[in-house]
Amino acid sequence: MREGLWQAVLGEIELTVSRASFVTWFKNTALLKEKDGKLIIGVPNVFIKQQLERKFNSLILETLQKNGVEDLGVEYKIYTPKVEGGGVKKDTDEDVEILNNPTTKTQPRTNQTSSLTHSYRQGLNERYTFDNFVVGSGNELAYAACQAIATSPGTKYNPLFIYGGVGIGKTHLIQAVGNAILTKNPSAHVVYVSSEQFVQEFLDAIRFKKNTDFAGFYRGADVLIVDDMQFIAGKEKTQEEFFHTFNALHQANKQIIISSDKPPKDIPTLEERLRSRFAWGMSIDMQAPDFETRCAIIQNKAVSHGITLVSDVVEYLANNVQTNIRELEGALNQLLAFCEMRELEPSLQVAQTLIGAAQTRPKHISAKQIIERTAKYFQIQVGDMLGPKRDKDIVVPRQVAMYILRSELHLSFPKIAKELGRKDHTTAIHSVEKIEKESAFDTDIRSAISEIKERLYA
């Protein structure tokens, strides 16, 4: 019934906040249901829940309003997203019905990506500039070529073909070129499009018989920037169209910039004639930045948040996330938010607990290990924890164990209750909620949780 609503809201929010914020705070959210005049939004953990409540609540409400939801409030609830590739975990006890959840389906991003790039066409995302791009080994060549193009488009490297792995700054850099050109010459017709969007528009143009508009639009560009060229692979008709666009622009000395995750020769089913066109200009292999550059990126981003980080925190982050700058930004954001909420200094220890745990998460731990670790930490017997005792020094550890079962293993509440020998799953719900709340201000509980986790993953 609210089909597409949350998708639309996320699509708009994605345009408003930085990419890293979006990925960190919004990506794994879902509209679960409507209840008592409120939309229940599912979020993966308590940090994200708090952040959405504190920082993004009004943005979310506004965006909902724009999408026609006037009279409903919003409540955030921690939930277990469906996992990709089958293996559906569901909170059977919460009658959670996922109305629409674009980000947890198998092909989650397609819709969002198209709406995103579509708006970008009106203007590039001005967040991506040369000024906030840190230059270092791995990206300096690409940076220099992009600068040269920004200075005199259409003359030197045409086309410029930049390729490299995910999250290393390709989009940032090629958009920075577009932004720089527009700053100098606001009437320049800069067109930025992802190849997916190009394909989609081309198909629409054929379907709605507006092929001439489509061709005209792209052939009228002064600068054409095509991101993620690999997605054009196998689309023969679109490649042919692109080939003609390319020729028209190139002949008129218009600048063409292309990015891809691999070099032209490795894009399967890329037409030979396009391949040879791409070879006319310059191809640059962009590499993940080295350690020093990663440190500089982190320090820069922190400063833009008004925070100066001590060097061991910077180095810890830079060492832990090595190839993907988007993830690096995500880790930093999570750390900063965590510390902000608790009024802590972002220290090495906090970073280790927060990011360290997330990093090593793939390691398999069992419910039994969690219960044993928790009992050990509180120096009580596992048997007591599973038994009927209701003394405070047994009850609290039991609740902490439930909380960790929930946050680390995403078990359903009935399953958590069962693991701890309880019959009634509402006990589990209350326990998890209680610890969630308390850990926000109770340092003892918080350090218990982080220490238990640290040992679990050690």
Smallest distance from ligand ADP to CB 128, Å? 6
Rounded to whole angstroms, what are the CA distances from 240 to 88, 165, 244, 264, 396?
41, 26, 7, 16, 66
Cα–Cα distance between 77 and 74 in angstroms, integer?
10
Q: Which of 11, 102, 169, 414 binds ligand ADP (CB under 6 A)?
A: 169
Burial 415-440 (b: 16+ CB within 10 A, else e): bbbebbebeebebbbebbebbbebbe
- Toward ligand ADP, which CB reaches closer, 17 or 59? 17
Smallest distance from Mg ion to CB 384, Å? 53
Q: Which of ligand ADP, Mg ion, none interacts with 325 (beta carbon under 5 to 8 A by kind)?
A: ligand ADP
Is residue 451 a contact partner of residue 374, using CB atoms and an 8 Å limit? no
Here the tokens at position 372 are: 């044993």
Taking residue 63's Cβ as centre, other Cβ atoms within 10 Å add up to 18
Here the tokens at position 426 are: 């509402």
Residue 326 is a binding residue for ligand ADP (CB under 6 A):
yes
Residue 293 is a binding residue for Mg ion (CB under 5 A):
no
- Toward ligand ADP, which CB reaches closer, 20 or 232? 20
Rounded to whole angstroms, what are the CA distances from 448 to 314, 374, 445, 452?
25, 9, 5, 6
Residue 395 is a binding residue for ligand ADP (CB under 6 A):
no
Q: Which of 329, 408, 419, 436 binds ligand ADP (CB under 6 A)?
A: 329
Binding mask of the shown chain, residues 277 to 296, with x at each position contacting ligand ADP by CB under 6 A: ------------x-------
Is residue 136 a contact partner of residue 296, using CB atoms and an 8 Å limit? yes
Smallest distance from ligand ADP to CB 183, Å? 18
Rounded to whole angstroms, what are the CA distances from 386 to 365, 395, 402, 407, 427?
19, 10, 11, 19, 13
Dihedral pair phi/psi, residue 39, rounded to 5° = -90, 130
What sign does the CA torsion over 334, 339, 172, 142 have? negative
Total binding residues for ligand ADP by CB under 6 A?
18
Q: Which of ligand ADP, Mg ion, none interacts with 326 (beta carbon under 5 to 8 A by kind)?
A: ligand ADP
Q: Which of Mg ion, ligand ADP, none interacts with 178 (beta carbon under 5 to 8 A by kind)?
A: none
- Toward Mg ion, which CB reaches closer, 50 or 195? 195
Q: Which of 50, 63, 101, 171 binds Mg ion (CB under 5 A)?
A: 171
Q: How many residues does the chain have?
A: 458
- Toward ligand ADP, which CB reaches closer, 80 or 299? 299
Cα–Cα distance between 40 and 43 in angstroms, integer?
10
Helix (H) or strand (E) holding 42: strand 38-43
Smallest distance from ligand ADP to CB 175, Å? 8
Smallest distance from ligand ADP to CB 257, Å? 13
- Toward Mg ion, which CB reaches closer, 179 or 399? 179
Residue 197 is a binding residue for Mg ion (CB under 5 A):
no
389 strand-pairing partners: none
Binding mask of the shown chain, residues 115 to 154, with x at each position contacting ligand ADP by CB under 6 A: -----------------xxx----x---------------
Residue 299 is a binding residue for ligand ADP (CB under 6 A):
no
Smallest distance from Mg ion to CB 50, Å? 29
Taking residue 247's Cβ as centre, other Cβ atoms within 10 Å add up to 13
Here the tokens at position 115 are: 């709406």
Residue 317 is a binding residue for ligand ADP (CB under 6 A):
no
Cα–Cα distance between 256 and 179 in angstroms, integer?
14
Report the interface residues with Mg ion, using CB under 5 A: 171
Report the interface residues with ligand ADP, using CB under 6 A: 19-20, 132-134, 139, 166-172, 289, 297, 325-326, 329
